């Protein structure tokens, strides 16, 4: 039990460090700034495994403990409205980083399509047009009602 929890925190810390390292590395590559991209393919599954899984876990059931609660993305009815996860991905919220600086619109569309279709049963894809529409509309970040 304890061991399992320790492993969990260990992998979470590692994932966050790896993410920060990737971002720092890319920033060095492009000293002039401008949009940088994480070196993963446009495959939603790959983006998920390289980035989101560090916090949301491989089974997308999230994790939690002292002060840090990561919501499940699997079986999450809030994802029925595709604008909901799109806003969070674009702007972040609480402990959830925003990804508009490090993922391309194609990667964001792909990972959201993957999360909604693979861990839930929402089969309509999130498209680059959706990402652009939400970016332009700039709706306020929705409040989390994380009581699952
Ligand atoms: C550094 C850890 C971390 C990473 C990496 C991360 N998330 Fe999150 N995510 C969180 C936390 C923490 C929350 C809860 C935020 C809040 O409401 O305060 C969250 C919330 C969310 C939510 C809202 C869930 C809900 O029910 O409200 C979605 C959708 C989401 N994340 C998708 C993703 C996707 C897709 C990725 C990969 C591109 C990702 N996250 C990467 C930590 C992370």
Q: How far apart are CA 72 and CA 142, in angstroms?
A: 17
State the burial class of residue 138 (Cβ atoms within 10 Å of its Cβ: 0-12, 13-18, 19+).
exposed
Q: Which domain holds residue 31?
A: 2-137
HSE of 94, CA atoms in CB hemisphere, 13 A = 10
- Examine residue 124 and state whether it is found in any structural domain, yes or no: yes
pTM of the model: 0.75
- Examine residue 69 and state whether it is found in any structural domain, yes or no: yes
Cβ atoms of residues 76 and 106 within 8 Å: no
Q: For ligand 1, say whether the CB of 126 is within 6 Å of any of its atoms.
A: no
pLDDT at 83: 96
pLDDT at 27: 41
Atom of ligand 1 nearest to the CA of 142: 27
Q: Residue 121 sits in a domain of what CATH number?
A: 1.10.760.10
Cβ atoms of residues 82 and 116 within 8 Å: yes
pLDDT at 64: 75
pLDDT at 139: 56
- Examine residue 95 and state whether it is found in any structural domain, yes or no: yes
pLDDT at 67: 63
- Examine residue 99 and state whether it is found in any structural domain, yes or no: yes
User: Which residues of the chain fall short of a pLDDT of 50?
Assistant: 1-2, 4-7, 10, 12-15, 17, 21-34, 148
Q: What is the pLDDT of residues 22-36, one digit of tens each?
A: 444 444 443 444 455
Q: How many domains does the chain have?
A: 1
pLDDT at 148: 45
Atom of ligand 1 nearest to the CA of 148: 26
- Examine residue 148 and state whether it is found in any structural domain, yes or no: no
- Examine residue 142 and state whether it is found in any structural domain, yes or no: no
Q: What is the pLDDT of residues 6-26, one digit of tens each?
A: 445 545 444 454 555 444 444
Ligand 1: which residue has its CA nearest to atom 29?
85
């Amino acid at each position: 039990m304890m061991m399992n929890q320790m492993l969990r925190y260990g992998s979470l810390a590692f994932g966050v460090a790896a993410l920060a390292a990737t971002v720092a590395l890319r920033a060095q590559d492009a000293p002039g700034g401008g949009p940088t991209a994480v070196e993963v393919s446009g495959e939603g599954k790959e983006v998920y495994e390289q980035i989101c899984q560090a916090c949301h876990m491989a089974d997308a059931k999230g994790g939690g403990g002292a002060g840090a609660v990561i919501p499940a993305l699997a079986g999450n009815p809030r994802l029925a409205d595709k604008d909901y996860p799109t806003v969070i991905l674009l702007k972040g919220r609480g402990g959830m980083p925003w990804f508009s600086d490090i993922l391309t619109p194609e990667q964001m569309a792909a990972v959201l399509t993957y999360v909604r279709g693979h861990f839930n049963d929402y089969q309509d894809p999130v498209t680059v047009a959706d990402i652009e529409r939400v970016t332009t509309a700039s709706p306020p970040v929705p409040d989390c009602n994380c009581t699952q």
